[in-house]
Structure 1
């Protein structure tokens, strides 16, 4: 026979698990930004997401939106589920993106790397 204490513990654990997952859905993915050679490079940790489930867009010339989602398949009895099922991060860029810029993206080993041309940057060819 299951006691009321066991039921309360199980429900409390589920609620903590859900809250933790929701927290990570708000702050994930962690992002690094740096500028080099006329490009803004963005690195975002998206381990566990498939490349085809990741979406990236530049809004205006100064905001980057990274989103991803994945299916969650239940496998047996769940005791803890903290991995986010969906994420969306709006990143205010420190520089303006060149208009009609072609953003180069690569996803490897769970890390999304973007190279975004910076407005006004001029590449100098040295002969």
Structure 2
């Protein structure tokens, strides 16, 4: 009976982690000065394990991975080991534009120049 309970607990843990891997990271997106700014919470991931790309269809794809060091014989976590987030951008990306990404304190900020954006000075 104890083996069955452990197996059920292990499977629930795996399903929980898989759920978080598809829901996380939370994303904020806004336009600022002719750029689309995307902010993603990626706490716990190393900068060198984060990948950002934009496909020809104007999709932003964020992937990240990490390994968890297991301590002892019983270790349970719901933290995602991988992230795959595809976001359809609400504006066209400027061709040959300089896209920047900065990762600081667990927050990834991506700045994407967009077509048709006009900055207007308010007086």
Aligned residue for 2:97? 101
CA offset digits 1:47-90 (Å, max 9, x no partner): 00000100000111521000000122221123422111111100
Within 5 Å, give how 1:63-82 maps onto structure 2. Answer: 63-82=59-78
Aligned residue for 2:33? 37
1:52 is the counterpart of 2:53 = no
Q: Which runs of 5+ in 2 are unaligned?
A: none
8 A contact 1:14–1:79 mirrored in 2: no
CA–CA separation in structure 1 for the residues paired with 2:56 and 2:31: 19
1:79 to 1:72, Cα distance in 2 relative to 1, 3 A? closer
TM-score between both structures, scaled by the size of structure 1 = 0.88
Aligned residue for 2:8? 12
TM-score between both structures, scaled by the size of structure 2 = 0.91
Greater Rg over alpha carbons, structure: 1
CA–CA separation in structure 2 for the residues paired with 1:94 and 1:15: 38
Give the 4+ runs in structure 1 shifted more than 6 A: none
Deviation at 1:27, TM superposition (A): 1.6
Aligned residues: 121
Q: Which runs of 5+ in 1 are unaligned?
A: none
